[in-house]
Amino acid sequence: MFTTVLIANRGEIALRVARTCRELGIRTVAVYSTADQDSAVVRFADESVHIGPAPSKASYLNIPAIIEAARRAGADAIHPGYGFLSENPDFAEVCEDEGIVFIGPPASVMQKLGDKAVARAMMVEAGLPLLPGSTQAIDTVTEAHALADEIGYPVIIKAAAGGGGRGMRIVRDSTDFARAYRETRLDAQAVFGDGRVYVERYLESARHVEIQVLADRYHSAVHLGARDCSVQRRHQKLVEESPPPGLPDSLIAEMGAAAVRATVAAGYVGAGTFEFLVDTENRYYFMEVNCRLQVEHPVTEMVTRRDLVADQLRVAAGEPLGFTQAELTGHAIECRVNAEDPARGFAPAPATVTHFAAPGGPFVRVDTHLHSGYRIPAAYDSLLAKLVVWGPDRDTAIARMHAALRELRVEGPGTATTADFLRDVLDHPLFRDGKHDTSLVGDMLFGGPQ
C-alpha cells in the first residue's frame, strides 16, 4: 500500500478521499488555491501545499505545480478525485513518467475512452448497443448534416472530448442543424481545447442509468449494480439512486454484464462508470465511459457496503480485487445541494456561511467541505454537499431524504441553496412512482423539455 497520497482536488471529494486514506494509515497531502486556503481538507490533511491563485488553470489544472507539490511532499501516488485532471491522460502520463502512481486507469486507456467518438467505436466492437449516429468525429457540417437527416430528428451534437454534461446541443429540426453544429464546435474548442464533435439520435423520454465497474491489473472486473441519474437540469445530475426504480433485475444484470465485458476488453484498471440511456421499452444504449470516480459513488457504497476509494487505492497499489460480485441491499438516494438560487434561474450564490448544520439520524450520510465561516468561492463548481440516505426500501429512503433536506442549514448573507427545490423533486408524483425520466426537471420548470 502507498505511504503518502497527494489529493489533486478540492471540496468535498478531497476531504472524502483524505478520510479513507487516514483509515488505511496513509499520509495525505492536500493542495489548495488561494481561494481555498480556509477549506476543511487543508486542516484535515497531514500536509497542505499552496499551488496557485484562484483560477483553476493556475492551480487545480496546473500540472507542473501539482507534480512539484507531490515531489516536495514525497508522495508515491496521486488521487485526482473527479473533475479537474481526473480524466486527463496527459496528467496520468506525467505521473507515470515521474514514478508517481496515478490512481486511475492507464493513460493509454484513458486516452481512448476519454474520446467519446473513439469510445463509441470501441463499444461497437465489444457488442454494446448504441443509438444511431457516428462512430467517429465528423469534420464538416455537410457530412454531419447529412447524417442527422438520415438518422432522423431529434439529434444531439456532442463534443468528442466532452463530459460533465457540457459540450452538447439538441437539434429538433433540420433547419437548426448547421447553426447548432458550428456553435457546439466553438464551445467544445473553448471548454475542452478540442473542437471535434459527433452526432447521435436523441431520446426525448429516456432514463439515464449507469453501471459502476471496478477492475484490477489482472483482467478481473466486476460491476457494483446500477444507478439512476435521470433527474437532471441542463444535463447536470441533481438526484441519483440505486437501484434504479422500475427497471427489471434482468435488464440491470444484462447491462452490468455488458459493462464488465467492455471493461475487460478495454484493459481498464480502477473504478469507472458506463453510462447508458434506457428507452420506454427498456432497451438500453451505450453513451460514454467516465474514467474516474463519479460524484454519485456514495449511493453505490450505501447499497454494497464497500468503500470505493479504498478499492481504488488497493487496485492502484497492485492488489487483486479479492471479491466477485457484491450483494446489494436496500435502496440509497443522493441529492446534490448546490450554492444556487432557483428563484433566480439557478444563478450561482457565492457567499460566506455564518451557520452550517448538517442533518443526522440513522443511515444519513453527508459528504461536504462546509463549515461555519466558510467562504463559498465563485471560481469553482457550486456543489456544497451531497446528502445520501439508505433505507430498506425506496419509500423509506425518500422519506429519510426529505427529512435530511429539511434539516440542512446553510445560512449567511446572500446564501442560497437548491435544498427546497430538491424536496419539490422528491414530492413530484412521477418521481414518487419511479416513472420519471430526463425530462422531469424541464417539465417542472418550463412545462416541457429544456
Q: Which residues pair with 340 in a beta bridge?
A: 348
Cell readout for 297 is 459513488
53-64: average pLDDT: 97
* Tens digits of residue pLDDT in 306-350: 999 999 999 999 999 999 887 899 999 999 999 999 999 999 999
CA–CA distance, 280 with 260 (Å, rounded to integer) = 24
pLDDT at 167: 85
% of the chain beyond a pLDDT of 70: 99
- Who's near 146: CB < 8 A, 6+ residues apart? none
- Who's near 148: CB < 8 A, 6+ residues apart? 155, 171, 174, 177, 199
pLDDT at 161: 83
* Tens digits of residue pLDDT in 84-102: 999 999 999 999 999 999 9
Q: Is the pLDDT of residue 169 over 90?
A: yes
pLDDT at 116: 82
pLDDT at 133: 93
155-183: average pLDDT: 90
* Tens digits of residue pLDDT in 380-430: 999 999 999 999 999 999 999 999 999 999 999 999 999 999 999 999 999
Nearest to 272 by CA among 336, 208, 316: 316
* Residues annotated catalytic, as ranges: 292
pLDDT at 428: 97
Backbone angles phi, psi at 331, to 5 degrees: -135, 135
pLDDT-derived band at 164, boundaries 50, 70, 90: low
pLDDT at 438: 94
Q: Is the pLDDT of residue 450 over 70?
A: no
* Tens digits of residue pLDDT in 361-374: 999 999 999 999 99
39-62: average pLDDT: 97
Q: Is the pLDDT of residue 209 over 90?
A: yes
pLDDT at 193: 86
Listing DSSP states for 144-180 in one string gives HHHHHHHH-SSEEEEEEEEETTEEEEEE-SGGGHHHH
Pairing of strands 236-242, 331-338: antiparallel
Q: Is the pLDDT of residue 64 over 70?
A: yes
How is residue 133 annotated by DSSP? B
Q: Where are the alpha helices (DSSP H) in 208-283?
A: 249-266
Q: Is the pLDDT of residue 104 over 80?
A: yes
% of the chain beyond a pLDDT of 90: 91
pLDDT at 340: 97
Average per-residue pLDDT for the chain: 95
In order of their start, the domains of the chain are 4-87 (3.40.50.20), 132-201 (3.30.1490.20), 207-446 (3.30.470.20)
- Kindly report the length of the chain: 450
Q: Is the pLDDT of residue 353 over 60?
A: yes
Query: The pTM is what?
Result: 0.94
Q: Is the pLDDT of residue 449 over 60?
A: no
